[in-house]
Amino acid sequence: MKRAFIFPGQGSQSVGMGKALAETFPQAKAVFDEVDEALSQKLSAIMWEGPADELTLTANTQPALMAVSLAMVRVLEAEAGLDLGRDAAFVAGHSLGEYSALAAAGSLTIADTARLLRIRGNAMQEAVPVGQGAMAALLGLEYDAALEVARAAAQGEVCDAANDNGGAQVVVSGHKSAVERAVAIAQEKGAKRAVMLAVSAPFHCALMQPAADAMREALARVTVHAPVVPVVANVEAAPIGDPDAIRDALVRQVTGTVRWRESVAYMASQGVEAFYEVGSGKVLTGLVKRIAAGASATALGAPDDVTAFKASLQG
């Protein structure tokens, strides 16, 4: 059976995430310690004890979610015998989750990934003054229809398709007034729901260009290895493996659309039957079930999940 391992993005965080893993498995504790050291911050304390508003700061959320995902990967390697190079056909991640996927596949060290995500989080937050940008979810419109809504709403401002999540769920991002127009137009076009999202910045749109520039500089300073398993990139919805191509994709990802629907569909078209969401939450598990009919999707985030996964790997 072909498997893919997928890694969650922003929105999957919750206070307490990863704590049980750290208390149960020394391999997980070591990852959280490594991230704390790389950032010169006790990020693990914020993850496990809160406060929630501090965890949801973009600069904290991004490395924190990566830490949980990589802690789980290390536990699966130690306890279940997981070898991504052998056991995975592909890895992929949603937005910041792409960094987790690359770290899991050996392209980036955990310490470098934590530092990159800290830079990314700060740069994305600072790219647009608070209050000027917004994001909205358009539910019940397919991607092409949502794209038309975004174009109609722009009216000289920025309104881009940020996330094509599948299951007729598209997120638009840009200037606040343009995104508000998109919500109204989407409702006129028959969207089931169109709602503004409680986000701190307009991610994955042209307004993020300053953050893309910051990531180009940051990525030039780190070593990127070829991954041990093909990484399906958000902006390509196809696998990449060359280190320069990886850097380029990560830079373009900041302003580009997260092509999640196409990424999952691609992996399914290549014979992937089982998707495993590694880390906090079950958001991607739900999306996969709507995109890849007939494929299984399982979330791996808690100590109890390790035993079940080990049985499935051996079976």
Catalytic residue numbers, as ranges: 95, 204
Radius of gyration of the chain (CA): 19
- The H-assigned helical ranges of the chain are 19-24, 26-39, 43-49, 52-55, 58-80, 84-87, 97-104, 110-126, 143-154, 176-188, 209-220, 243-255, 260-269, 283-291, 303-314
Q: Please say whether the beta carbons of 172 and 179 come within 8 A.
A: yes
Q: Name the residue type at position 214.
A: A
Tokens coding 200: 């701190």
The token pair at 31 is 């990852």
* Residue of 280, 292, 303 whose CA lies nearest to 3: 292
Cis-peptide into 51, omega within 30 deg: yes
Cβ neighbours of 26 (radius 10 Å): 11
Which one-letter amino acid corresponds to residue 90?
F
Q: How far apart are CA 215 and CA 158, in angstroms?
A: 21
Alpha carbons 266 and 73: distance in angstroms, whole number: 23
Q: How many CB atoms lie within 10 A of CB 307?
A: 11
